[in-house]
Amino acid sequence: MIISFLFPYTVSMENKLYVRLILIGNVKGIRIMPFDYYILKIASRCNLNCTYCYMYNLADQTWRNKPRVMSKETMLAAVTRIADHAVRFNISHVSISFHGGEPLLLSQKSMQFLVNTIRDIFSINGISFDISLQTNAVLLNYEWAQFLHSNEINVGISMDGKKDVHDLKRIDHSGHGSYNKVIEGLMAARSYHDAKDNFDGVLCVINLEVDPIEQLEHFLSLQFRSIDFLLPEANYESLPAKKISFDSTFYADWLIKLFDYWFLLDDPSIRIRLFSVIIELLIGKGKGLDAIGGYPVSIAVIETDGEIEPLDVLKSVGDGITKTGLNVQTHQIDDLDNNYYIKLMQQGHEGLNETCQACRHLYVCGGGYLPHRYSLKGGFENPSVYCRDLYKLIDHIELRLQNLVELATN
């Protein structure tokens, strides 16, 4: 798998990476990187109460004052603003993610209205698009599968592994685990024969108490082939579990064990996103993610009430931190240009602290995820709280690639 993945790309094992040039739009004095990825919070509530959720159980509580679902008026205004922005900046393709809360709390009728609105307005303006949806799968069924497939909506499932693991933190509002309902929903959705490939992606928050190989094997047994392992939301004021010091690397050790197992599987059908992205960055092929790579982020969030906000995961840092005073009913997407957090997200490597600037893995790690850099004393002018983990992991992957190339060229 890795050999076929690497070649015919030119590999630089001295970490000489291609620096991607990003053109910044400049329209009537506005200087921003245009937005081409939107997270639409179509439901502000959730039928689960996951203990680690950044939306509900960390710092921010602004969801309490949001409409439960996005109204048709807000949908129309949001799509119109997105299209206006795309036309102004000559953006030919836009990605939209239906998010929450739990987006399946929105009725199919309302979701169909939203999809039709996107299709109609974007078509008039010559904009192509793709739509994805992230769900906890509890409400999934045959009818939803049919609906999502017919509307060409890609689906991601949020799940934490086997029943005993999943039910520790992914609980409902009565404290009961959700694993059985997730499996029931997933199997019901997959029973719609045309939609089987719609449900092969899973997102999982890392739990150091769980063996990573056992976790991966469980996901593979459920026919997931695209897997995203996430570092828990944390910062210097709220340290991740078992992070006993800045220099500890328990998360790297967990991920390295997983990487080595995945690497030896040599199966091109299995993609672990974090590893694939790091490999792409190491060989100068990729542009990273919002969580790694350090390239300017072109993501905007629109809440159920129409508020236009920066990256939603910033809610893990402070209450109301993402509020901008902007709304699709009264403002353009371009107006995000003056937001402090948008500027941080779009400065890329240039906005990183001195420690990150001097790091040999600057163009691979990119300072890590913005929320993970936060401290009361230094704001976001810090390396990621996972700095040592990321460095160790990247070092390990780079060494494995070096060894692979040496074997292939000898």
Residue 369 DSSP symbol: -
Q: How far, rounded to the nearest angstrom, does the alpha carbon of residue 228 sit from its chain's CA centroid? A: 9
**How many domains are contained in the chain?**
1
Structure tokens belonging to residue 121? 């307005």
- pLDDT (0 to 100) of residue 32: 63
Q: Which residues pair with 94 in a beta bridge?
A: 129
Structure tokens belonging to residue 364? 């691979």
- pLDDT (0 to 100) of residue 189: 94
Nearest to 374 by CA among 366, 365, 386, 362: 386
Residue 207: CATH number of its domain: 3.20.20.70
407 CB-contact burial (10 Å; exposed 0-12 / middle 13-18 / buried 19+) = exposed
End-to-end CA distance of the chain: 19
pLDDT digits (tens, 9 = 90+) for 324-377: 999 999 999 999 988 999 988 888 888 899 999 999 999 999 999 999 999 999
Q: pTM of the prediction? A: 0.91
- pLDDT (0 to 100) of residue 33: 85
- pLDDT (0 to 100) of residue 410: 73
Whether the link from the prior residue into 240 is cis, omega within 30° of 0, is: no
Can you give the residue range of the structural domain that contains 312? 2-409
What does the angle CA 153 – CA 158 – CA 163 come to, to the nearest 5 degrees?
135
Nearest to 103 by CA among 60, 39, 151: 39
Structure tokens belonging to residue 300? 């905007």
Low-confidence spans in the chain with pLDDT less than 50? 1-30
Whether the Cβ atoms of residue 93 and residue 129 lie closer than 8 Å to each other: yes
pLDDT digits (tens, 9 = 90+) for 275-334: 999 999 999 988 899 999 998 889 999 999 999 999 999 999 999 999 999 999 999 999
Kindly state the helix (H) or strand (E) to which residue 32 belongs, with its residue range: strand 30-32
